[in-house]
Amino acid sequence: MNKKPDLLILNCKELLTIRGASSKPKIGHELDDVGIIHDGAIAICDERITDIGETKDLIEKYKDDTNFKIVDASGKVVSPGFVDCHTHVVFGGSREKEFVEKIKGTSYLEILKRGGGILSTVNETRKLSVDELIRKTKKHLDNMLTHGTTTVEIKSGYGLNLDNELKILKAIKILNETHPIDIVPTFLGAHVIPDEYRANPDQYVNLVIDMLSVVKEYVKYCDVFVIVGHFLLNKAEKYLWKQKIGLSLKMHINEFKNIGGADLAAELEIVSADHLDLITDEEIDKLVKSNVVGVLLPGVNFYLMNNNYAPLKRMLEKGLPIALATDFNPGTCPTENMQIMITIACLKMKMSPGQALNASTINGAHAIEMADDVGSLEVGKVADIIMFDIPNYNYIPYHFGVNNVEKVIKRGKLVVDYKKI
């Protein structure tokens, strides 16, 4: 017997369950299937989904029980909340000045070389207290939630010394406890060599290794920015890290140039390899073999005005599980909005809207090992739900640059409702 629901969502015109992939990410043609139920309904008790099916069946089942709230989703599209599995949300300052330079033709790597880019954000971040960081970050999390993101991975990496990295991780911990969004924290001390270690980068590598023993209690993952102009690590150091910390790994690789990160990612069997813009067929095969999820961040290509979009077709043919995320950060993708990522993925990488939705929900959940709990609408899962005020799901990428969300339900509670505005 199903638990008595405390909330019923009824009459969903299109209920996109994204079901059937909690134990393994979707690959190839599996990504086309959004598990649609027409005139669908969801029953929720406490924080979890207890029943799902057609509206007439759920009404029949619960007709003798009136002790629940009803949300009427007539004419609406309903999906799982977005899982944004790659972001850098906690930072000081902003970089709109670089936006103007970029339009005039200065490249990202040139800006970085003369102390702009990440290093300028590091300076601004170091100036802020934990409370100031929390206040600033809360606004970004609010933006995420109102645009349908209910789970987010956040990396540190704008502190680049123990005190400042800890400050960021403490801010993330407090926000996770106080904000409706669920946050998965990642340590990214290996982001870029800070100014004070430019003459001696090896010393900074040692410092990052030392930091790990302190920060590991705050994080689920350790990430490394293996990208030219940032953090070049040799294998020995990588192995050392793995043995020393016992944390699962993620890597930024193959973004501006292919410097061989994919081999290392496969060898270390990391959880996700992110960016993958410039990747060879052999490297894709290796990632597939090692069960690595490929996280694609097309908002960055769009924002940096390059055409190095990840080779989606080859990835799908070879069976690489792919997820979509914003990479929200102040320099290369300043938007919290997953709906725009879906539009860019469709227009620039030729993803279908269905593929993009799977990549933004269940496969994103696999990229942070939370697919048992989130990423699809199935019995037993956390009730993280978006209700879109649109006629069908193709409309999400089609009607772009605006917020198509009407309501967001997080852990069974209505947390966003534009109907009330």
> Residues forming the annotated binding site for N-formimidoyl-L-glutamate?
158, 329, 331
Nearest to 384 by CA among 141, 153, 181, 87: 181
* CB neighbourhood size of 402 (10 A): 9
First CA to last CA across the chain, in angstroms? Answer: 39
State how far the alpha carbon of 184 is from the alpha carbons of 102, 169, 380, in Å. 32, 11, 20
Spatial contact of 68 and 7, defined as CB atoms under 8 Å apart: yes
CB of 331 to Zn ion, least distance (A): 10
The alpha-helical segments, DSSP class H, found in 9-151 are: 55-61, 96-104, 108-113, 118-126, 130-146
Residues that bind Zn ion (CB under 5 A): 327
Binding site membership for 4-imidazolone-5-propanoate: which residues? 95, 158, 191, 255, 332
Nearer to Zn ion, 84 or 327 (CB): 327
Nearer to Zn ion, 143 or 403 (CB): 143
Within 8 A by CB and 6+ apart from 301, the residues are 277, 307, 308, 309, 344, 348
CB of 154 to Zn ion, least distance (A): 11
Nearest to 184 by CA among 270, 250, 252: 250
Nearer to Zn ion, 277 or 327 (CB): 327
CB of 157 to Zn ion, least distance (A): 8
Cα distance between residue 231 and residue 323, in whole Å: 24
Nearer to Zn ion, 327 or 406 (CB): 327
- Phi, then psi, of 183 in degrees rounded to 5: -115, 135
At residue 379, the 3 state secondary structure works out as coil
Nearest to 343 by CA among 334, 353, 331: 353
Nearer to Zn ion, 37 or 144 (CB): 144
Binding site membership for Zn(2+): which residues? 86, 88, 252, 327
Nearer to Zn ion, 5 or 92 (CB): 92
Nearer to Zn ion, 5 or 189 (CB): 189
State the residue number with the nearest CB to Zn ion: 327
CB of 373 to Zn ion, least distance (A): 23
Cα distance between residue 84 and residue 295, in whole Å: 10
CB of 16 to Zn ion, least distance (A): 27
CB of 22 to Zn ion, least distance (A): 26
CB of 297 to Zn ion, least distance (A): 7
CB of 300 to Zn ion, least distance (A): 8
> Is the Cα dihedral 200, 198, 252, 176 positive or negative?
positive
CA–chain centroid gap for 352, Å, is 19
Nearer to Zn ion, 327 or 336 (CB): 327
Cα distance between residue 26 and residue 375, in whole Å: 12
